[in-house]
C-alpha cells in the first residue's frame, strides 16, 4: 500500500513539473490592441550612411556622390553634428535618416 502511494505522489509531482514547463513561453502576456502606437513611442531610429565626395553645398543641402557613383542630396539642420570643415570636394561619411533625408552626422575623412 505504501509503495503505491509513493508512486502516485511521484507521478503527480512529475505531472506538475511537466505542466509548469509546458506553460513556459506560452504567451501569457496580453497583446496590445494598437501595435503601431507602441512602435511610434520607440526611441529607435532607422539610419543609413553614405561615404563619398561633396559635390555641392546649397541652401542647407549637401550633395554627396557615393563610391558607387550615385548622388544623394541631404538636408543639414542645426541639430546635425558636423565634424571638421565641410567644403566642396571633401571626402565625407554622412549618417542620415532615409525617410526625410536629414543628416544626423557629417564626418570629414
CATH number listed for the domain at residues 48-108? 2.40.50.320
pLDDT tens, position by position, 67-94: 899 999 999 999 999 988 889 999 999 9
Q: For the chain, give every domain's residue range.
A: 48-108
pLDDT tens, position by position, 44-59: 788 999 999 999 999 8
pLDDT tens, position by position, 6-29: 788 777 777 766 665 555 555 555
**Grid cell digits, residue 93:** 561619411
**Grid cell digits, residue 43:** 526611441
Long-range Cβ contact pairs of 69-74 (< 8 A, separation 24 or more): 72/96, 72/101, 73/101, 74/50, 74/101, 74/102, 74/103
Find out whether 66 and 54 touch, Cβ atoms under 8 Å: no
Amino acid at each position: 500500500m505504501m509503495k503505491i502511494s509513493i508512486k502516485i505522489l511521484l507521478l503527480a509531482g512529475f505531472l506538475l513539473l511537466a505542466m509548469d514547463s509546458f506553460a513556459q513561453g506560452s504567451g501569457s502576456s496580453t497583446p496590445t490592441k494598437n501595435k503601431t502606437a507602441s512602435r511610434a513611442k520607440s526611441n529607435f531610429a532607422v539610419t543609413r550612411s553614405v561615404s563619398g565626395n561633396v559635390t555641392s553645398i546649397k541652401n542647407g543641402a549637401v550633395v554627396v556622390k557615393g563610391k558607387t557613383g550615385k548622388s544623394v542630396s541631404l538636408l543639414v539642420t542645426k541639430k546635425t553634428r558636423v565634424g571638421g570643415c565641410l567644403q566642396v570636394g571633401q571626402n565625407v561619411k554622412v549618417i542620415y535618416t532615409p525617410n526625410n533625408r536629414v543628416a544626423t552626422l557629417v564626418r570629414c575623412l
